[in-house]
């Protein structure tokens, strides 16, 4: 459970340690009181932005930013307006830091970094040391999350210096915890422990139990990674004792997971199950998928180890429990994978924006330098003109020469500008092509990493169980396991087939042969192949195509299009449903419609279809699994025929896919 440990460590180190602690329910009274005071102030002085109002709004913003589910953004914006109008720079720095905290909690790292950078600028300009230290800390934490450890160290070290100079022990403690986390990320465990020890010394002076909890937890994690499980248990149990006093449910769950995992490493399985079961019970009322997933995974691993260690009838029971928890873990894994991927994409976008801004700043500096040089040049030119005015004939000659050279320079400059515009146009076209290629590459690797891995995981897990404990399974269990393996292999084959076809379309290596054939005959042949699949769901398939409709196309691609669309219709049509395949002659082209009365789609999912950059696949009415490539292949094949595909659908009313194919000839 190393991955689980690492995530939980970072959660404690960078979230609980630095950002505002979640306000207790008793804070509601203070918030209500402040709101009443604000309403009274607005009634008495409706047109004034007093400093009293600024103070109340800042306190409200501070309370709300730290409460999950509340934004406080309206209080922040109003308070910032008042602070700027009244030139209250200390308040402005405080509010900008609070605004950055709000964006951080909402995973908008780009806006968080901008807000804290603005706070740093104000603090430096007007010597607001306290808020300068806070801004440096927050920026360091954001850089750490973005993986830029060198910048993170730089900002956090500057913050440490400020808090030592101002003797702010509470902020210093939080900074030391963050620095310990950075050393942990670099696997420098000794330095990480040294910073934790320093923090414990400060904690004795400040009596800050939250920081002590975080430090104990962090030390437990460090000793765990060092392989000193006894020391790790000691600090995790100390952290747990303090958390029980605080009543922090999430913190209690994390401690129980950590301690349970350590007992598992010490092969004390009963103790491990005891702690993980407590964590499971506490997490039942939460919506934290990651914690629940880690608990299920941990219990599955422990029961599997216990099953391997037992030679009695208990081993079968342990394996059943292991399989049960593994299925629970697996059901949450897909959504966590998507959330994690989206979060990483957002972080990469923030890194890109930051580098882009740095480049813009550098270009602006260069531009200012060029302007200064131009001003110097102009002054020198004027001096020369004044000097040569004394000698009339010489001045006329100089002016003529200068004008001539200037005109030539303008012509040359125009030529250079035209060349630059041409180069920029080519660069934009290259960038567009690269984006399309990257989009294709991203979905290809995403499908391989995700969809290809899942069937293999299921097959490997089940075949390992069958290999080790085949004699302990009855016929029913064996049949279920073999059925799952068969379905995984079948889905894997379909996925590979679609991947290969799609890859060939992207590389331009797929064969394209035109021939004339009957639309009706081709559709009948493809429906015959899918008859058993439809029959299994009691679905009827009707054809409304004239027998004399002849089309010139690549018959293999045409068959692939029809099979994919009809397979899709079967997948999303319930038992007893109906599918209609109709064709009509539209003079210059044929229009073919595949319509079902299945579950349909909403507008959001309709917009995701046919897009290479978005891998979109959902389970069918009988939990059929797709690859997400079928419709993309259809569009690629139709595009090769200069045709088009569209879809209309509503939830509960089925879907109608319409394709149009021009009436080609073999020579065309």
How far CA 360 is from CA of 383, 417, 426, in Å, comes to 35, 21, 22
Report the distance separating Cα 462 and Cα 489, nearest Å: 12
- Is residue 391 over pLDDT 80? no
Please name the helix (run of DSSP H) or strand (run of DSSP E) that holds residue 82, with its range, or none.
helix 73-85
Residue owning tokens 């679905």: 539
- The residues near 162 (Cβ < 8 Å, ≥ 6 apart) are 129, 132, 133, 136
Pairing of strands 578-585, 540-544: parallel
- Is residue 401 over pLDDT 70? no
Query: Is 296 in contact with 332 (CB distance < 8 Å)?
Result: yes
- For 219-264, write each residue's pLDDT tens digit: 999 999 999 999 999 999 998 888 888 777 888 888 899 998 899 8
Average pLDDT, the chain: 78
Query: Is 78 in contact with 38 (CB distance < 8 Å)?
Result: no
The whole-number pLDDT of residue 45 equals: 67
Residue owning tokens 């068959």: 559
Residue 356 burial (C-beta neighbours within 10 Å; 0-12, 13-18, 19+):
exposed
- Is residue 397 over pLDDT 80? no
143-180 burial code (b ≥16 CB/10 A, e <16): bbbbebeebbbebbebbbebbeeeebbebbbbbbbbbb
Length of the chain (residues): 668
Q: Which of 6-10, 357-361, 428-432, 477-481 has the lowest mean pLDDT?
A: 6-10
- 79: phi > 0 → left, psi -120 to 50 → alpha, else beta; which? alpha
- Is residue 582 over pLDDT 90? yes
Name the residue with higher pLDDT: 18 or 550: 550
Six-digit token pair at 406?
């200037």
Which SS3 state, helix, strand or coil, does residue 148 take? coil
- For 403-448, write each residue's pLDDT tens digit: 766 777 678 777 777 877 888 788 888 777 677 666 656 655 555 5
- For 21-53, write each residue's pLDDT tens digit: 434 444 567 777 777 777 777 766 666 667 888
- For 70-102, write each residue's pLDDT tens digit: 557 888 888 898 889 889 999 999 999 998 888
Dihedral (CA of 180, 183, 187, 189) sign: negative
The whole-number pLDDT of residue 499 equals: 64
As a whole number, mean pLDDT of residues 303-319 equals 77
Report the distance separating Cα 530 and Cα 540, nearest Å: 11
Q: Please report, rounded to a whole number, the percentage of residues in the chain having pLDDT higher than 70.
A: 75
The whole-number pLDDT of residue 73 equals: 81
- The residues near 460 (Cβ < 8 Å, ≥ 6 apart) are none
- Is residue 518 over pLDDT 80? yes
- Find, among 484, 502, 476, the residue nearest to 557 by Cα: 502
Residue owning tokens 């957002």: 346
Name the residue with higher pLDDT: 562 or 349: 562
- For 588-602, write each residue's pLDDT tens digit: 899 999 999 999 988
Q: What is the pTM of this model?
A: 0.46
- Is residue 112 over pLDDT 50? yes
- The residues near 594 (Cβ < 8 Å, ≥ 6 apart) are 562, 565, 566, 568, 569, 579, 580, 581, 656, 657
The whole-number pLDDT of residue 330 equals: 80
The whole-number pLDDT of residue 594 equals: 96
Name the residue with higher pLDDT: 17 or 49: 49
Report the distance separating Cα 360 and Cα 442, nearest Å: 28
As a whole number, mean pLDDT of residues 7-26 equals 40
Residue owning tokens 């506490």: 282
Q: How many CB atoms lie within 10 A of CB 371?
A: 10
Six-digit token pair at 133?
């230290």
The whole-number pLDDT of residue 1 equals: 42
Biggest CA pair distance of the chain: 117
- For 50-75, write each residue's pLDDT tens digit: 788 888 888 887 877 755 555 578 88
The whole-number pLDDT of residue 501 equals: 64
As a whole number, mean pLDDT of residues 604-621 equals 71
Query: Is 103 in contact with 73 (CB distance < 8 Å)?
Result: no
Q: How many CB atoms lie within 10 A of CB 536?
A: 11
Residue 324 burial (C-beta neighbours within 10 Å; 0-12, 13-18, 19+):
middle
The whole-number pLDDT of residue 20 equals: 40
Report the distance separating Cα 254 and Cα 290, nearest Å: 11
Six-digit token pair at 69?
């589910």
- The residues near 171 (Cβ < 8 Å, ≥ 6 apart) are 130, 133, 134, 137, 159, 163
Which SS3 state, helix, strand or coil, does residue 23 take? coil
- For 158-197, write each residue's pLDDT tens digit: 999 999 998 888 888 888 888 998 898 888 999 999 999 9
The whole-number pLDDT of residue 2 equals: 41
The whole-number pLDDT of residue 24 equals: 41
The whole-number pLDDT of residue 561 equals: 92
Name the residue with higher pLDDT: 517 or 587: 517
Report the distance separating Cα 239 and Cα 252, nearest Å: 9
The whole-number pLDDT of residue 440 equals: 59
Name the residue with higher pLDDT: 356 or 11: 356
Q: How many CB atoms lie within 10 A of CB 497?
A: 14
Which SS3 state, helix, strand or coil, does residue 577 take? coil
């Amino acid at each position: 459970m190393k991955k689980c440990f690492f995530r939980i460590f970072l959660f404690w180190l960078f979230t609980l340690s630095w950002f505002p602690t979640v306000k207790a329910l008793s804070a509601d009274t203070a918030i209500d009181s402040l709101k009443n005071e604000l309403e009274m102030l607005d009634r008495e002085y409706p047109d004034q932005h007093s400093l009293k109002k600024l103070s109340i709004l800042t306190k409200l913003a501070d309370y709300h930013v730290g409460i999950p589910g509340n934004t406080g953004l309206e209080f922040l914006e109003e308070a910032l307006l008042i602070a700027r109008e009244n030139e209250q720079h200390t308040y402005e720095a405080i509010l900008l830091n609070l605004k950055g905290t709000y964006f951080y909690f909402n995973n908008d790292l780009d806006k968080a970094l901008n807000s804290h950078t603005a706070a740093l600028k104000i603090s430096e300009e007007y010597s607001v040391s306290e808020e300068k230290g806070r801004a440096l800390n927050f920026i360091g934490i954001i850089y750490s999350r973005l993986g830029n450890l060198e910048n993170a160290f730089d900002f956090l070290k500057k913050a440490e210096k400020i808090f030592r100079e101002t003797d702010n022990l509470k902020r210093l403690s939080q900074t030391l915890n963050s620095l310990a986390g950075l050393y942990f990320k670099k696997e420098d465990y000794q330095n990480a422990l040294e910073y934790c020890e320093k923090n414990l010394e400060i904690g004795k002076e400040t009596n800050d139990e939250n920081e002590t909890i975080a430090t104990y937890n962090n030390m437990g994690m460090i000793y765990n990674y060092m392989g000193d499980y006894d020391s790790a248990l000691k600090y995790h149990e100390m952290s747990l004792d303090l958390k029980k006093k605080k009543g922090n449910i999430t913190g209690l769950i994390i401690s129980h997971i950590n301690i349970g995992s350590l007992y598992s490493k010490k092969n004390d399985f009963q103790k491990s199950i005891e702690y993980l079961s407590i964590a499971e019970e506490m997490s039942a009322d939460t919506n934290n998928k990651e914690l629940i997933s880690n608990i299920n995974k941990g219990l599955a691993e422990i029961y599997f180890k216990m099953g391997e260690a037992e030679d009695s009838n208990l081993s079968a029971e342990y394996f059943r429990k292991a399989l049960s928890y593994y299925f629970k873990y697996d059901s949450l894994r897909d959504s966590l994978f998507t959330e994690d991927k989206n979060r990483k994409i957002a972080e990469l976008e923030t890194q890109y924006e930051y580098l882009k801004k740095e480049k813009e700043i550098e270009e602006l500096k260069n531009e200012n330098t060029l302007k200064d040089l131009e001003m110097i040049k102009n002054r020198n030119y004027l001096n020369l003109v004044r000097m040569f005015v004394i000698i009339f004939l010489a001045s006329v000659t100089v002016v003529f020469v200068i004008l001539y050279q200037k005109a030539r320079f303008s012509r040359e400059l125009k030529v250079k500008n035209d060349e630059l515009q041409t180069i920029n146009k080519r660069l934009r076209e290259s960038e567009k092509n690269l984006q399309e290629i990257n989009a294709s590459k991203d979905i290809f690797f995403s499908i391989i990493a995700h969809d290809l891995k899942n069937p293999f995981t299921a097959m490997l897990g089940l075949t390992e169980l069958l290999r080790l404990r085949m004699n302990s399974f009855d016929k029913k269990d064996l049949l279920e396991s073999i059925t799952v393996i068969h379905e995984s292999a079948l889905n894997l084959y379909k996925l590979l087939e679609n991947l290969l076809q799609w890859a060939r379309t992207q590389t331009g290596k797929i064969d394209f042969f035109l021939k004339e054939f009957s639309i009706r005959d081709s559709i009948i042949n493809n429906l015959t192949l899918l008859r058993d699949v439809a029959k299994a769901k009691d679905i009827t398939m009707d054809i409304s195509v004239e027998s004399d409709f002849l089309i010139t196309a690549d018959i293999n691609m045409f068959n692939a299009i029809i099979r994919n669309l009809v397979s899709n219709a079967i997948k999303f049509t319930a038992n007893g449903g109906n599918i209609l395949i109709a064709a009509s002659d539209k003079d210059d082209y044929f229009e073919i419609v595949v319509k079902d009365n299945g579950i349909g789609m909403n507008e959001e999912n309709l917009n995701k279809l046919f897009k290479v950059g978005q891998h979109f696949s959902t389970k069918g009415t009988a939990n059929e699994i797709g690859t997400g490539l079928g419709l993309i292949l259809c569009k690629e094949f139709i595009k090769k025929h200069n045709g088009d595909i569209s879809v209309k659908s509503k939830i509960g009313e089925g879907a109608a896919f319409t394709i149009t194919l021009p009436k080609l000839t073999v020579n065309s």
